[in-house]
Chains A and B, each alone.
Chain A
Amino acid sequence: GAVVSQHPSRVICKSGTSVKIECRSLDFQATTMFWYRQFPKQSLMLMATSNEGSKATYEQGVEKDKFLINHASLTLSTLTVTSAHPEDSSFYICSADKTVNTEAFFGQGTRLTVV
């Protein structure tokens, strides 16, 4: 199967700082990547859809100025949590689609803790 690598796996940052999370497809090109947020013991909430070379499409209620998404190449999408606050603490997961398959491949997730 395809491999999606997400980095870092864990990060602790101070309130008010920004954190960047990377999502890379290692052995395929991903036209589309997705960013999800998972609250404890809850399902995954789609935050945004990231398309290479264009602006991300954000789901309703997700602040695009706070969660900056950049899909600079067919193998890399980044999520930057700007001016992080404790309520942003969560588990963030990316996924990537192969261009001709509906199956999504997930990164390992990033546990963000804002103190």
Chain B
Amino acid sequence: GDSVTQMEGPVTLSEEAFLTINCTYTATGYPSLFWYVQYPGEGLQLLLKATKADDKGSNKGFEATYRKETTSFHLEKGSVQVSDSAVYFCALTGRQAGTALIFGKGTTLSVSS
């Protein structure tokens, strides 16, 4: 079945450091790919998404490119802030509405000043 694999955390960085969180997927067909962020005690917020190969999703300085050839969707940010500390989930879904998301295990990011 479809699955998402994320790099193990936690990731600990200093402010202004470069961030990469790896995500690879296994899926039939052409899924849509997402990054969600969860702040402590809260629900999930969509960070960015890409719906087809070579699409780049971006938001709040974060970027991820849908790479079909490597089945990857790595999350990057050039300069992290303390406020970026959260848990980040990579996810995929099929193209039809009504299809549940499949999540990776999440990666905890901790940024110190």
Which residues of A line the B interface, CB within 8 A?
1, 6, 31-32, 34, 41-44, 46, 49, 51, 93, 95, 97-109, 111
Contacts and interface: CB of A to CB of B under 8 A. Distances in A.
A99 B96 CA distance: 9
25 contacts: A31-B98, A34-B100, A43-B104, A43-B105, A44-B44, A44-B101, A51-B98, A93-B44, A97-B97, A97-B98, A100-B97, A102-B51, A102-B95, A103-B32, A103-B34, A103-B49, A104-B46, A104-B101, A105-B46, A106-B44, A106-B45, A106-B46, A108-B42, A109-B42, A109-B43
A99 B100 CA distance: 13
Interface residues of B, number: 26
B93 interface: yes
